[in-house]
Amino acid sequence: MEQEVVTTRTRNVDAAVSELCGKLKKNPGSYQAVIFFAAIDYDFPLLSQKIKEKFPESEVIGASTAGEFSDQGFTEGSIILTTMSDSSTRVKGVFIDQGSKYPILYKSDIEDALKACGIRINDSSSHKDAFALEFTNAVFNAEETILSNFYAIIKNDKFRLAGATAGYTGNTPKSYVSYNGRTTQDGAVMLFVKTKCAFDIRQEDIFNPTGKQVFVTESDTMRRVISTINGRAATTVYAEQLGVSESQAAQQTFENPFGRFVNGSLHIAALASFTPDKKITTFARVTPNTTLHLMHIGDAMEKADETCAGIKEAIPRPKFTIMMTCITRTMYFARSNMQKDIISKYRNTFPTFCGFSCYGEQIDRIHCNQTLVTLVMGD
């Protein structure tokens, strides 16, 4: 397995694509897959088309970002393009449009893409040499729907998936994902990979349980709104658990999110906002009659060390690395002057790597927030 990572901050799309391609070592036909991350202020549909034109024989997927990063550090307003080349690896992508309403319409497309990779449906061993990389649009709250639809098709709960919600910056809530030049603002793109290479997919969570628990008595799952906790106004109970006023609680949401037990593990559901009628909106679904754990931020550098050590133990010689981190983590690293130290740890672990700041992370069947999801391939 070989990975190349190239970047540009050139604003003109044609010039940017030419610059990116000029930095690559191989001819365009050498790459099984091309993956790109781009700031939202680029003309994303045009960029997607131009990149596909340069790689007509490759599977090309992309996502808009809330920031990008590579061995050059955390950036904004750039394009990162990375490639995958390995003669023993087969890849095939699939495009899902109108994902918040009709993801089932793409059932046959998903089945065809899996088949093209040699991945069998309803095969209890399909996860041993295959996985999926997935990007979903923000804004439409479709992540859980798209994941549920996929696992209903693959029929193997052990099949691994690493994914992220495409990001954006600025005040306009829009994001893009792309497959082979096609783009959507309400859907997803998936890249299926069948390989003889070792691979590792994992999640880093920098939060720890405080020991405090609350019970969701009323919530709107689809709209991601918690109305009452412990039978009372959600905002009031959250503030009481923190020991602060309701106005002060709004400043505590990043460092003190909720954790939900899903499939036996705690996963973060970030708090998005407090409404005037004291409801809490979240970035992931929370069902009624659910126990939530109040979390508190831990030592991010220590967690990064644990993540890197765990990956190196699983993949002693990493060759391909993509990392998807929540935008709130990126902002926290910036406020805490940790960005250079975090990148330094990644440099010491991975010969090549790249990633982007996203609006949510997907690992296997689960959509969550404020975490890091890594995909690493080796020999």
Indicate yes or no: pTM above 0.75. Answer: yes
* Bridge pairing between strands 199-205 and 280-282: unpaired
Residues 6 or more apart whose Cβ sits within 8 Å of residue 275 = 225, 235, 281
The predicted pLDDT at position 264 comes to 82
Return the number of other C-beta atoms located less than 10 Å from residue 259's C-beta: 22
The predicted pLDDT at position 102 comes to 85
- Angle made by CA atoms 165, 275, 166, in degrees to the nearest 5: 10
CA dist., res. 59 & res. 191, Å (int): 8
The predicted pLDDT at position 30 comes to 94
Residues 6 or more apart whose Cβ sits within 8 Å of residue 12 = none
In this structure, what token pair is assigned to residue 212? 């405090």
Residues 6 or more apart whose Cβ sits within 8 Å of residue 374 = 162, 200, 201, 202, 203, 204, 307, 311, 321, 322, 323, 324
SS3 labels along the chain: CEEEEEEECCCCHHHHHHHHHHHCCCCHHHCCEEEEEEECCCCHHHHHHHHHHHCCCCEEEEEEECCEEECCEEECCCEEEEEEECCCCEEEEEEEECCCCCHHHHHHHHHHHHHHHCCCCCCCCHHHCEEEEEEECCCCCCHHHHHHHHHHHHCCCCCEEEEEECCCCCCCCCCCEEECCEEECCEEEEEEEECCCCEEEEEEECEEEEEEEEEEEEEECCCCEEEEECCEEHHHHHHHHHCCCHHHHCCCCCCCCEEEEECCEEEEECEEEECCCCCEEECCCCCCCEEEEEEEECCHHHHHHHHHHHHHHHCCCCCEEEEEEEHHHHHHHHHCCCHHHHHHHHHHHCCCCEEEEECCEEECCEEECCEEEEEEECC
In this structure, what token pair is assigned to residue 84? 């995958």
pLDDT by 10s per residue, the chain, length 379:
999 999 999 999 999 999 999 999 999 999 999 999 999 999 999 999 999 999 999 999 999 999 999 999 999 999 999 999 999 999 999 999 998 888 899 999 999 999 999 999 999 999 999 999 999 999 999 999 999 999 999 999 999 999 999 999 998 999 999 999 999 999 999 999 999 999 999 999 999 999 999 999 999 998 999 999 999 999 999 999 999 999 999 999 999 999 998 888 889 999 999 999 999 999 999 999 999 999 999 999 999 999 999 999 999 999 999 999 999 999 999 999 999 999 999 999 999 999 999 999 999 999 999 999 999 999 9
Q: Is 91 helix (H, G, I), strand (E, B) or coil?
A: strand
In this structure, what token pair is assigned to residue 372? 């890091």
Residue with the two structure tokens 């495409």: 166
The predicted pLDDT at position 62 comes to 98
CA dist., res. 246 & res. 69, Å (int): 35
Q: Alpha helices, DSSP H only, in 315-355? A: 327-335, 339-349
